[in-house]
Amino acid sequence: MIKNKTLLVLFRLVLGGLFVYAGVVKVLDPLDFAQNIRNYRLVGQSLSFIAAVVLPWLEILAGVAMAAGIWKRASALIISGLLVFFILLTLVTIARGLDVDCGCFGAISRKSGLGVILEDLGMLFMGLCLLFAPAKQT
């Protein structure tokens, strides 16, 4: 794992900032995000609305904690777990042949596909580096 303190702090700020941004754009338009969730055809309308209200706040809180350097391991665990879920969801979506927007970053979202998976893998790498870094390094 990476032990360079400067690089780990950069990972923390970038990953935390990305999750705060992603959460905020979803909070600003929960109905659009609920529709994005519904397009995946995994949950019904009620659950998609609940997820559209809860998930962005989880992203914001974990992102703020990570960027601020508080609850570093917990926020890295939450963000890494979310990223694993997002990667699996995208893989299932591709396998099912669905053509949906990922819903990741609001209006600048793009189609779920290999590019989204690669971006999520890059973020997962940062999250896992932070999760397993020595406590004094992050």
**CA-CA distances (angstroms) from residue 12 to 26, 61, 134?**
21, 14, 14
Return the percent helix, strand and coil in the chain, to nearest 5.
75, 0, 25
Does any domain span residue 15?
Answer: yes
Does any domain span residue 138?
Answer: no
Which range (59-63, 87-91, 92-96, 112-116) has the least confidence? 112-116
Domain residues for the domain of 39 are 5-132
pLDDT confidence of residue 138: 60
User: CA 54 to CA 104: how far, in whole Å?
Assistant: 15
Tell me the two tokens of residue 135.
Answer: 């406590």
Beta bridge partners of 101: 111
Q: What is the pTM of this model?
A: 0.89
Tell me the two tokens of residue 38.
Answer: 């519904």
**Which pLDDT tens digit goes with each residue over 92-138?**
989 988 888 877 776 666 777 888 899 999 999 999 999 999 877 56
Provide the domain count of the chain. Answer: 1
Does any domain span residue 137?
Answer: no
